[in-house]
Amino acid sequence: MDIYKLEAWYLKNQRKLPFRESKNSYHIWVSEVMLQQTQVDTVLPYFSKFIEKYPTVLDLANANEEELHKTVEGLGYYRRFRMMHQAAITIMRDFKGVFPDQYEHVRSLPGVGAYTAGAIMSIAYNQPFSATDGNVIRVLARYLGDDQDMRLEKNKKRMDIYQQQMIEKATPWIYTQAIMELGALICRPRQPKCDLCPLQEHCQSYQQDIQDQIPLITRPLKTKVYHYITLVIEDQEAIYLRKRHEELLKGMYEYPQYESESLNFVLNELEQQGIVLDIYEEKTAFKHVFSHQTWLMDVYHARRIKGSHPEWIRISKHDIFNYPMAIAHRKIKLTSIIW
């Protein structure tokens, strides 16, 4: 690969991003965690807010989990931030509060996989450890003209081995960011800008004009679809929420919801627990797609007549923005307060 052309291209064309302004390993860790599954433009305001609120590992270790959720509300995949909190506590306990600079130590932190460890080691410490994510795989598979199915681990592994060979010949902090930036700006999923690409000369896909066929990624298994009856239950100036303990969105708040397609079934179940609701508005249908499941929510607005569930938490309607809520439910509007 034309490593030097790639690095020179990066140094000239890189975007100005706040987490690239220093080699602070904590900042790089935060940015890499946020950038997993999330676009750079979406991450930028969250990154600044996060670093302002938790400027050091110590601040993150001492974070109140609910406030932490609130800070990242809207980014999705909240488990990554719970793991980050655990990792910060681990750094305080096992590494005297100093972000580790050995690969094995970084990799041992909760939630830190091979990609994140490689990114931190190469960008913050200039060490030759590969960081191979989907964007890098796309660039490498196209460059090499590799038409194998990149959903399969063995093929991803092959790309990672190649990436490791390249970074060992390169300047690690530049190379890692350069190939990521090339994937984001030039070798994009659709319509790559090959005319502007520093790798064009030896790119197999370009030479064979097969860029749009590579990488081959077979379709994932179908996502599971859940039907919910979702209840926005008002009680004068109050509203009811529930804190999730399920693995998906654990620790986030939601309106009470029940897996069913029948409102009557849910109301009957609640009545048997002594809870009576008055549904005062026709349903509104909402859909939210996660990576492995889809929620189809029939949302009903109700008034509480009597009873309550032990999992329901009664809060003032006006405090609702103080509670970390998943976007799946945040997009449901209350009718009687101004949004």
Q: Which residues bind ligand SF4 (CB under 6 A)?
A: 139, 142-143, 186-187, 192, 194, 197, 199-200, 203, 205-206, 211
CB of 199 to ligand SF4, least distance (A): 4
Nearer to ligand SF4, 152 or 196 (CB): 196
Nearer to ligand SF4, 182 or 266 (CB): 182
* DSSP class of 83: H
Output the smallest distance, CB 218 to ligand SF4, in A: 20
Whole-angstrom distance between the N-terminal and C-terminal Cα of the chain?
A: 53
Q: Comparing C-alpha atoms, which of 219, 223, 246, 241 is closest to residue 308?
A: 241
Instruction: Rank residues 191 and 236 by Cβ distance to ligand SF4 and give the closer one.
Output: 191
DSSP line for 202-265: G-HHHHHT-GGG-SB-PPPPPPEEEEEEEEEEEETTEEEEEE--SSTTTT-EE--EEE-S-HHH
Annotation says 269 is catalytic:
no
Q: How far is the CB of 133 from ligand SF4 (least distance, A)?
A: 16
Rounded-to-integer distance, Cα 159 and Cα 133, Å: 10
Catalytic residue among 32, 73, 234, 254: 32
In angstroms, the CA 71 to CA 48 distance is 11
Minimum distance from residue 88 beta carbon to ligand SF4 (Å): 37
Q: Judged by CB, which is closer to ligand SF4: 31, or 205?
A: 205
Find, among 138, 111, 134, 133, the residue nearest to 122 by Cα: 133
Q: What share of the chain is helix, strand, coil (3-state, %, to 5)?
A: 45, 15, 35
Residues carrying an active site annotation:
32
